[in-house]
Amino acid sequence: VKKRQLIAIIDDDRPFRIALLELVRQLGFDARAFASADDFVAVDDQAFDCVVTDIQMPGMSGFDLVRMLKSRDQPIPVILITALAEPQLETKAASLGVVCCLRKPFLPHDLIECLEKALGH
C-alpha cells in the first residue's frame, strides 16, 4: 500500500489554518498545521512531501522558508499563499522556484491544481 503523502500547512491565521488543514485531509492527504515557519522548522524531519505556507508571518517569512528549503539536497515543493496585494509577488515567487503562488481568497480548485503539480500527479 502506498503511503499517503504528507503536507505541511503554515499560516499564522488560525481559522484559515484549520480550514485548510481540513480541506487537504478531505482531499485524501495527510497534513500537519503550524502557526509559524519557525514552528515548522523546529519539527521538520524531512518527511513532508509539500509545504503550503503563508508569506507574511511573525518571525521567519514564507520567502525566508523557501530559501532555506531550496538549499537542501532534496528540495520540498512549496506553494505560497498570501493576503498581500503587492503586484510583484508572483514574479518573485517564480524566481525562487516556487510551484504556485495563490492569493487569498483563492478557489479550492486552484489549490488542488497546485497540489497536483507539486506532487507530480
Q: Which residues bind other proteins (CB under 8 A)?
A: 11-16, 18-20, 22-23, 26-27, 35-36, 56-59, 81, 83-85, 103-108, 111
Determine the longest span between alpha carbons in the chain, in angstroms. Answer: 44
Nearer to other proteins by C-beta: 26 or 72?
26
Cβ 75 to other proteins shortest distance, Å: 26
Nearer to other proteins by C-beta: 13 or 90?
13
Cβ 8 to other proteins shortest distance, Å: 16
Nearer to other proteins by C-beta: 46 or 121?
121
Q: Which cell numbers hold the place of 54?
A: 503563508
Cβ 76 to other proteins shortest distance, Å: 22
Torsion angle defined by CA atoms of residues 117, 93, 25 and 33, in that order, rounded to the nearest 10 degrees: 150
Specify which residues 33 forms β-bridges with. 9
Q: How many CB atoms lie within 10 A of CB 74?
A: 6
Nearer to other proteins by C-beta: 58 or 75?
58
Burial of residue 114, with CB atoms counted within 10 A of its CB: 0-12 exposed, 13-18 middle, 19 or more buried: buried
